[in-house]
Amino acid sequence: MNEHITPEPVAENTGAVEVVDKGDDSPGGASPSCGPTALAGRVADFPHLPGIYIFRDAGATVLYVGKARDLRKRIANYFRSADAVDIKTRMMLSKAAELEYALTSSEKEALLLEASLIKKYRPRYNVVLRDDKNYLSIRIDPRDPFPRLDIVRRFQKDGALYFGPYTSARAARDTLKYLHQLFPLRLCRGKKLIPRERPCLNYSMNQCLGACADKVSREDYMKMVEEVTLFLEGKTDVLQKQLTQRMQDAAQALNYELAAFYRDRLRNVVTTIEKQHIVSDRFMDQDVLGICREEDRTELVALFVRQGVHSGQRTFDLKEAKGDSAELISAFIQQYYYQGGFIPDEVIVPVPLETETVLAEWLSDMKGRRVRVWAAQRGDRKHLLEMADANAREGLNSRRRWQKRDTAILEALKNLLRLPRTPERIACVDISNIQGHHAVGAVVVFDHGRPDKNSYRRYRIRLTSEPDDPAMMSEVIDRLFENDPQLSTSLDLLLLDGGKGQLNTIVRLMEQISPPEPLPLASIAKERESDIGEKGKGLYEKIYLPGRKNPLFLHRHPDILHLLQRIRDEAHRFAITTYQNVHRTSLLTSALDGIPGIGPGRRQMLLQRFGSIDAIQEATVDELESAGLPRKVAQSVPRVLSEMESRAVLAEREAENGPRENHP
C-alpha cells in the first residue's frame, strides 16, 4: 500500500508561482513515495520553463532545493549514468522519494525563491551558511534634521547611507569612537532631537556640537555630516580640499579658533589616510571571494575592499560541502547577500559562473544600481583573487591544526576523567540571578572544542523564586532532557558551573530521569582561600566528579584546564547576557505602561527627556505638555503614578502582614 503525502507549499510571497507535484493519478494531486528509478521516469513531465525543484525523502523532509532555467533539462542531468554525477548527487538520489517543482516567471525569480527555501528548510544536500549573522555596519541618514552615526547589523532600503561591514564588533565601535573625535556629531539617541536648556557633558568635552541647545546651526551641522560622509565613502581628496578651504576662509575672517578647529581635523584626516593600506587604485567597493578545497573540507574567504582600502575579511567553513567550486560559490553569493549584507559595486569570483548574469541582475536590483559579478583574469583584481585564495588556504590549514590539537586535548580529558567515550560534545549549565529575581538558566554546547551556537539554550526559571542555584540548575537540566531529547542525547559530558552541592543534586536528578545512556557529569568551581592549605597550591579550579570525595586539580594539565574554563566562561557570559535582557525588558515595562495615552514611543520620549520615573512624577503639567504630551494625558500622569505608588505600598504591606479580611 502506497503512503500518500501531501506536499507542503514551497512559495511564500514570491508573486505568481505555480506549485506542481507530478505523480500518478492519485487523489488530491499528491504523489506516492517512489525511488530514483520512478523519479527518472517522470522527467518528461517537467516543462522547458524556469523554476525551482525540490527533492524530498520518504518522510517528506526536504533533501535538496535547486533552480533551473530549463527544468526538464536540469532534472534530466540527475539521472544520467552513475559516473556522470558526483557522489553528493548519488547519495541524495538514493534517499529521494518525491520530486516537486514550482514554475517562476524568470530565472532571477527562481534564484530568489531558491534562496528563500534554502533559508527556510536548510536542506541536507545544499550549501548552507551555518553562520548567518550579519556583521556590524555604520549608518547615517542625511535626511534627518540632525543626523547621528549608528551601528546596525542589517541593511534596509530606507534611504540612509550604510558603510561596512566591519568583521569585528570592536573594530566597528573603535571606528565609531574615532569618527566622533574627528566629527563630533550628536551622541544622544533617537531620530528626533529633544531640545534642552543646557547641552550634555559631551559638548563640554568637545565631543558634540550641542545641537540640542542651539549651539550650532543646522547649516553648519549638515556641513559636518557631509564631511563624515565623504570620509566614509573614501573621497578623502575632496574632504581635504573642503577642510583646507574652510580653514583659510576662517583665517581670513580672523576667526582663528575656528581655523584651528579645521586645521586639527585636517591633520587627523591626513594621518588616518596615511595608515590605510590601498590595495586597488579603482577606489570602488569590492567583495573578493577565494576558495580552497582539500578532501572533505572547503574554506571560503570574502575579502572586503572599500574605496580601494582593504577593510577586513570573513572566513566560512563550508562543512561537508559537495559539488564543484562554481556551484559552491554561486550558492554562497545567493545566501550571503540574500541575508541582507552590504552589496558592493563588484563581486570578484575565482572561477567563471554559469549564473553570473542572473546574479549580477539580482544584486543590481537590490542595490539600486549596476553590480558586476565576474571572474577577473589580470590586473589588480587578479592580485586580489590571489590574496583571497591564499587566505582561504591558510585558513583551512589553520583550522586543521586547531582540530588536531583539540582532538588531542579531548582524548586527554577522556583519560583523565575516565569517561566512557571521547567528549566531542560538551554542554555546560549556568544560572544567573540576583536574589532569585529574573532567574535564568543557560546551556552552551562545545562541539570538538568549538562553540556550537545553534545548540545554545536559554530558560526562564519557573519553579523557584529563592536564590537556590542547585534547584534552579536541576529545573534547567530536567527541561533540557524533557523538551530537547535530540540535543541531550548527543552530549558526551555535562559540565556544571558550581561545586559539590550542584553536582550531588544533578546526580540525583539523573537517577530519576534515567536517560537511555548514562551521561557523564562533572562540576567546576574556583578554589577558596580555605582550600589552599599551609603550603598553598595557588588559586586553581576544582573539578568534582560523582563518587569521588576529593576534587581534581588540573594545574598540571593546563590545556585541559583552559578548555574547561573556556566552556564555563562562555556559559557564564551567555547566562549573564540572558539575565540582562530579561531585566532590561522588565525595567522598560515600567509604571508608564499603565497610563492611558502613553505607548512605547511616548514612554521612551519621556524617559529621554526627564531621565527617571521619579523626575516624571515631579514634573509639572506644563513641563509634560512641552515634552510632547497632549494636555489631558499630561494632567493624568502625576495622578496615575501617585495611585500606582499607593497600590504598590499597600501590596508590600499585605505581603508582610497577610491579606486583609473583607468585612461587610
**Whole-angstrom Cα distance, residue 332 to residue 317?**
11
Tracing cell 527544468 back to the chain, one arrives at 71
Task: With a cut of 50, say whether residue 648 has pLDDT above it.
Answer: no
Is the pLDDT higher at 8 or at 580? 580
DSSP-based three-state secondary structure for 98: strand
**What percent of the chain has pLDDT above 70?**
78
pLDDT tens-digit map of 536-560: 454 568 899 998 888 888 888 888 9
Amino acid 11: pLDDT: 37
Work out the angle between the directed axes of helices 107-121 and 325-338 (0-180°, nearest 10). 80
The cell numbers describing 23, all together, are: 505523480
Helix H or strand E segment including 372: strand 372-374
Task: With a cut of 90, say whether residue 60 has pLDDT above it.
Answer: no
Q: Which domains, from first to last, does the chain contain? A: 4-121 (3.40.1440.10), 286-397 (3.30.420), 425-576 (3.30.420.340), 589-657 (1.10.150.20)
Amino acid 118: pLDDT: 83
pLDDT tens-digit map of 401-432: 888 898 999 999 999 999 999 999 999 999 88
**Whole-angstrom Cα distance, residue 20 to residue 102?**
6
Question: Does residue 146 contact residue 354 with C-beta atoms inside 8 Å?
Answer: no
Mean pLDDT score of the chain? 77
Task: With a cut of 50, say whether residue 465 has pLDDT above it.
Answer: yes
State how beta strands 521-526 and 493-497 pair. parallel
Task: With a cut of 60, say whether residue 19 has pLDDT above it.
Answer: no
**Whole-angstrom Cα distance, residue 451 to residue 575?**
15
pLDDT tens-digit map of 227-248: 888 877 766 677 778 778 888 8
Question: Does residue 422 contact residue 414 with C-beta atoms inside 8 Å?
Answer: yes
- The type of residue at 444 is V
Residue 402, CB half-sphere, CA atoms under 13 Å: how many? 11
Alpha helices in 484-612 (DSSP H): 485-489, 500-513, 558-588, 600-610
Question: Does residue 332 contact residue 300 with C-beta atoms inside 8 Å?
Answer: yes
Of the candidates 336, 278, 270, the one whose C-alpha atom is nearest the C-alpha of residue 127 is 336
Confidence of residue 318 (pLDDT cuts 50, 70, 90): confident
Does the predicted TM-score (pTM) go above 0.85? no
C-alpha of 215 from chain center? 39
The cell numbers describing 519, all together, are: 551521561
CA torsion, ordered 334, 340, 345, 350, to nearest 10 deg = -30
Tracing cell 583665517 back to the chain, one arrives at 251
